[in-house]
Amino acid sequence: MKNIQLIGIVGAGQMGRGIAQVAAQTGYEVILFDAFKNSLDFGHSFIKTQLDKGAEKGKWSSDDAGKAYARIKPTLELTDLKNCDLVIEAATEKRDLKFDIFKKLDEIVKPEGILASNTSSISITEIAANTKRADKIAGMHFMNPVPVMKLVEGIRGLETSDETFNTVAAVSEKMGKTFVRAQDYPGFAVNRILMPMINEAVYALYEGVASAKDIDTAMKLGTNQPMGPLELADFIGLDTCLAIMNVLHDGLADTKYRPCPLLRQYVAAGRFGRKNGKGFHTYDK
Ligand code: CAA
Q: Whose CA is nearest to atom 54 of ligand 1?
A: 236
150 Cβ inside 6 Å of ligand 1: no
Active site (annotated) includes residue 159: no
- Mean pLDDT for the stretch of residues 51-65: 98
User: What pLDDT does 276 receive?
Assistant: 93
Measure 233 CA to ligand 1 centroid, in angstroms.
Answer: 14
151 Cβ inside 6 Å of ligand 1: no
- Mean pLDDT for the stretch of residues 215-224: 98
Backbone angles phi, psi at 122, to 5 degrees: -85, 140
The answer as to whether 129 is a domain residue is yes
Q: Which of 89, 70, 71, 13 shows the shortest CA–CA distance to 46? A: 13
Contact in structure between 40 and 9 (CB atoms under 8 Å): no
Q: What percent of the chain has pLDDT above 90?
A: 98
Which of 127, 161, 183 is a domain's end point? 183
Domain extent for 210: 192-275
pLDDT at 194 over 90: yes
232 Cβ inside 6 Å of ligand 1: yes
236 Cβ inside 6 Å of ligand 1: yes
Active site (annotated) includes residue 121: no
Is residue 53 located within the same domain as residue 134? yes
Question: pLDDT tens digits for 116-135?
Answer: 999 999 999 999 999 999 99
Q: Whose CA is nearest to atom 30 of ligand 1?
A: 226
- Mean pLDDT for the stretch of residues 234-262: 96
Measure 145 CA to ligand 1 centroid, in angstroms.
Answer: 5
Q: How confident is the model at residue 2 (pLDDT cuts 50, 70, 90)?
A: confident
How do strand 29-33 and strand 178-183 relate by DSSP bridges?
Answer: unpaired
Q: Which of 74, 137, 82, 135 shows the shortest CA–CA distance to 104? A: 82
Active site (annotated) includes residue 44: no
Q: What percent of the chain has pLDDT above 70?
A: 100
The answer as to whether 285 is a domain residue is no
The answer as to whether 201 is a domain residue is yes
164 Cβ inside 6 Å of ligand 1: no
Q: Whose CA is nearest to atom 43 of ligand 1?
A: 144
Long-range contact list for 199-202, CB < 8 A, 24+ apart?
A: 199/241, 199/245, 199/257, 199/259, 199/260, 199/263, 200/229, 201/228, 201/229, 201/230, 201/233, 202/230, 202/233, 202/260, 202/262, 202/263, 202/280
Measure 147 CA to ligand 1 centroid, in angstroms.
Answer: 8
The answer as to whether 1 is a domain residue is no
Which of 162, 183, 204 is a domain's end point? 183
Is residue 63 located within the same domain as residue 151? yes
pLDDT at 227 over 80: yes
pLDDT at 1 over 90: no
User: What pLDDT does 219 receive?
Assistant: 98
Q: Hey, which of 19, 21, 117, 148 would you mutate to test ligand 1's pocket, going by the most ligand atoms within 8 Å of its Cβ?
A: 148
Q: What is the mean pLDDT of the chain?
A: 97
For residue 242, the tally of other CB atoms under 10 A from its CB is: 22
pLDDT at 89 over 80: yes
- Mean pLDDT for the stretch of residues 253-273: 98
CATH number at residue 234: 1.10.1040.10
Which of 128, 159, 183 is a domain's end point? 183
What is the atom index within ligand 1 of the atom nearest the CA of 15? 50
- How many independent structural domains does the chain possess? 2
208 Cβ inside 6 Å of ligand 1: no
Report the largest interatomic distance among the alpha carbons of the chain, rounded to a whole angstrom. 56
Q: For the full predicted model, state whether its pTM sits above 0.75.
A: yes
3-class SS at 205? helix
Measure 102 CA to ligand 1 centroid, in angstroms.
Answer: 30
Contacts of 115 (CB under 8 A, 6+ apart): 86, 87, 89, 102, 105, 106, 109, 131, 133, 136, 137
| Distance, C-alpha 192 to centroid of its chain | 15
Measure 229 CA to ligand 1 centroid, in angstroms.
Answer: 14
Is residue 174 located within the same domain as residue 202? no
pLDDT at 101 over 90: yes
pLDDT at 165 over 80: yes
User: What pLDDT does 87 receive?
Assistant: 98
User: What pLDDT does 13 receive?
Assistant: 96
Q: Whole-angstrom Cα distance, residue 260 to residue 245?
A: 9
User: What pLDDT does 83 receive?
Assistant: 98
